Structure 1
Amino acid sequence: MKNERGNSHQFQEPEFEGMVLIPSGTFKMGGKSEQSYVDELPVHEVLVSSFYMDETEVTNEEFKRFIDATGYITIAERDIDWEEMKSQVPEGIKKPADSLLKAGSLVFAETSEQVDLSDYSKWWRWTYGANWQHPEGPGSDIDERMDHPVVHISWEDANEYAKWAGKRLPTEAEWEWASSGGNDNNKYPWGNMPIEQAVDRANFWQGIFPVQNHVLDGYYGTAPVKSFPKNDFGLYDMAGNVWEWCLDKYDVTTYGEYKANGPINNPQGSKTYYDPREPLSPKHVIRGGSFLCNESYCSGYRVSRRMSSSKDSGFNHTGFRCVADML
């Protein structure tokens, strides 16, 4: 079949090799620590049915098989469509010059001094030619990174891969349950060991973000999958390395609605998008943190931490993993 972009897809039956069976369970979903953000609250009871989950993030090697089989072109490899983009910006913004709408993506750039951590533009650089094959832009490649997680992946890209593989993206309830390893009180996928003692448990930023990374975990950027211990469900890199897309639309009010409606079975997320910071942007949930996460910045490696990104955006710290339903 062909998708709306004209890319031909030949879908497969799901292959459960490389996947882990996650048992059903009931747990308290949401933030349980003093670090919890407003969108992690209130804590609410959720039942998740059994499902299979990729034991690792999708790697460059796996994603290349999808590209080779389908000819799919990722969002970061396409010139920007102004007609689509203008619906996400305030009315009255004029169309940029065509030269500014060329294909590219956002790449992290370490700063030379401490900056305002609320201003993301201080460490992200729009880079023409940056995409999954060229993570840092032209001149970079993935030849020695085939076992690293694929990056510069938008929600749309991840969803297309999942469909091709006969799988789907996880709901954030499934993701949080899987990340916890079945331990309802875990702050992190590895348990409750304080982050400053856990440099050998995940790939994250050790030092002063975004000025200096001491690289105590051995990796400045992404790490090969399985470089760190698996959690109690047998999953790798549920904290750090790259952010992972979830199926759910991001809505800051979702948890309040869940709490009001009592115990929820297999929640599928909000039916609408709502982020008061960027109300025009349709966003999906991302989970798990990345190699850039730090206590001073986002603490994204916490099991309950929710973040979001517009569905057509990719960064060099954003990837995904898939799940499959029980047959």
Structure 2
Amino acid sequence: MDESRLGGFVDIPGGGFMMGVDPVFPEEGPPRKVLVSPFQLQAHEVTNSQFAAFVADTGYVTEAERNGGSARFSESDTPEVFLSWWSLDAGATWRTPDGAGSDLEGRALHPVVHVTLNDAKAYAEWAGGRIPTEVEWEYAASLGLFDPMDPESGVRAPDGGMRANIWTGFFPVFNSRRDGFDGTAPVGCFEPGLTGAYDMIGNVWEWTDTPFAQAVPRFTIKGGSYLCSEDYCRRYRAAARESLEVDFSTAHIGFRIVRSKEGTDEPG
């Protein structure tokens, strides 16, 4: 992505679409027709440099910094045990993404991580936007697909070339880095979707402002991340969804913001 486009938005026209198409997991369906008002979508995930400007201007302190760290992924000696992949690292924050002693050197254009939904909302308000609803997010991602008949066309081209930053290889034991990365990638390293937005699929999961399910105190995240793989979760699709508590953060969740178009109700 051209750095001159940093912080730019793309126009998403209003319309209708089928949400939850080709569900792989039960929580993704059933398919249903949804109408969406037009809105503007930030063309890329919010970067470390953008978040740093927010913090410098407001003095904001993230929940990970206040409440004892954030979750980090690491390769495990017992990969068959899901909980062994993740640990709460007291030194992991947006400023120190790999834990104590790490920093943002060379990562200005990487997506900010270790931010909660509350942190993301605070940034969005400062930046004059808001966090997208799940409907808005999935609609924009669906419009951006290179082949609307192929829900995985956002992650790979017909010739097998990579269109997104995901886990390639045998998860969680071996990452071949066929896409060029084994962690987050700078925003805009892969070709944009048909809407002009980058990294809607892969790189980091993105917060939405939509509860995941009734009676579940979690909010929905969309898009998959650099930890999504072909042989494990396959959540690098527009319809895929996961959830997290609003005050929790991880190394593979970030966000982007939207703005309502003038003359329309919000959210779309």
Same fold, TM-score > 0.5, yes or no? yes
1:115 partner letter: E
User: C-alpha displacement at 1:180, in angstroms?
Assistant: 1.3
Question: Is the 8 Å Cα contact of residues 246 and 287 (structure 1) preserved in structure 2?
Answer: yes
Deviations 1:263-308 (A, max 9, x none): xxxxxxxxxx434xxxxxx210000011100123321211100110
User: C-alpha displacement at 1:181, in angstroms?
Assistant: 2.0
Aligned to 1:294: 229
**2:120 pairs with 1:158:** yes
User: C-alpha displacement at 1:124, in angstroms?
Assistant: 0.5
Aligned to 1:187: 151
Alpha-carbon distance in structure 1 between the residues aligned to 2:65 and 2:144: 39
Unpaired runs of 5+ residues, structure 1, are 1-15, 80-102, 252-272, 276-281
Query: Which residue, out of 197, 203, 207, partners 2:160?
Result: 197
Alpha-carbon distance in structure 2 between the residues aligned to 1:49 and 1:182: 16
Question: Is the 8 Å Cα contact of residues 150 and 319 (structure 1) preserved in structure 2?
Answer: yes
Alpha-carbon distance in structure 2 between the residues aligned to 1:128 and 1:43: 41
Sequence identity (%):
44
Aligned to 1:107: 72
Aligned to 2:20: 30
Question: Is the 8 Å Cα contact of residues 64 and 70 (structure 2) preserved in structure 1?
Answer: yes
SS at match of 2:152: coil
Aligned to 2:215: 274
User: C-alpha displacement at 1:113, in angstroms?
Assistant: 5.2
Alpha-carbon distance in structure 1 between the residues aligned to 2:237 and 2:166: 12
Alpha-carbon distance in structure 1 between the residues aligned to 2:144 and 2:256: 19
TM-score normalised to structure 1 length: 0.74
- The verdict on how the C-alpha distance between 1:63 and 1:299 changes in structure 2, with shifts beyond 3 A counting, is same
SS at match of 1:65: helix
Question: Is the 8 Å Cα contact of residues 226 and 236 (structure 1) preserved in structure 2?
Answer: yes
Question: Is the 8 Å Cα contact of residues 78 and 84 (structure 2) preserved in structure 1?
Answer: no
SS at match of 1:173: helix
Alpha-carbon distance in structure 1 between the residues aligned to 2:223 and 2:21: 14
Alpha-carbon distance in structure 1 between the residues aligned to 2:153 and 2:248: 26
SS at match of 1:78: helix
Alpha-carbon distance in structure 2 between the residues aligned to 1:309 and 1:295: 22
Aligned to 1:72: 60
**After superposition, where does 1:285-324 map in structure 2 within 5 Å?**
285-324=220-259
Number of corresponding residues: 255
User: C-alpha displacement at 1:197, in angstroms?
Assistant: 2.3
Question: Is the 8 Å Cα contact of residues 180 and 189 (structure 1) preserved in structure 2?
Answer: no
Question: Is the 8 Å Cα contact of residues 112 and 211 (structure 1) preserved in structure 2?
Answer: no
1:50 partner letter: P
Query: Which residue, out of 174, 181, 185, partners 1:223?
Result: 185
Query: Which residue, out of 150, 161, 171, partners 1:209?
Result: 171
**2:224 pairs with 1:236:** no
- The verdict on how the C-alpha distance between 1:115 and 1:172 changes in structure 2, with shifts beyond 3 A counting, is same
Alpha-carbon distance in structure 2 between the residues aligned to 1:191 and 1:223: 14
Aligned to 2:36: 48
Aligned to 2:266: none
Alpha-carbon distance in structure 2 between the residues aligned to 1:302 and 1:291: 13
Query: Which residue, out of 59, 68, 88, partners 1:126?
Result: 88
Alpha-carbon distance in structure 1 between the residues aligned to 2:62 and 2:99: 15
Aligned to 2:3: none
**2:10 pairs with 1:20:** yes
Alpha-carbon distance in structure 1 between the residues aligned to 2:168 and 2:95: 27
SS at match of 2:118: helix
Question: Is the 8 Å Cα contact of residues 285 and 308 (structure 1) preserved in structure 2?
Answer: yes
Alpha-carbon distance in structure 2 between the residues aligned to 1:310 and 1:248: 12
Deviations 1:205-257 (A, max 9, x none): 00111111011111110000000010000010011100000010110xxxxxx
Alpha-carbon distance in structure 2 between the residues aligned to 1:46 and 1:310: 26
TM-score normalised to structure 2 length: 0.90
Deviations 1:123-154 (A, max 9, x none): 00111111000001111111210000000010
Unpaired runs of 5+ residues, structure 2, are 1-5, 263-268
1:250 partner letter: F
2:21 partner letter: G
Alpha-carbon distance in structure 2 between the residues aligned to 1:192 and 1:218: 13
Question: Is the 8 Å Cα contact of residues 211 and 218 (structure 2) preserved in structure 1?
Answer: yes
Question: Is the 8 Å Cα contact of residues 169 and 245 (structure 1) preserved in structure 2?
Answer: yes
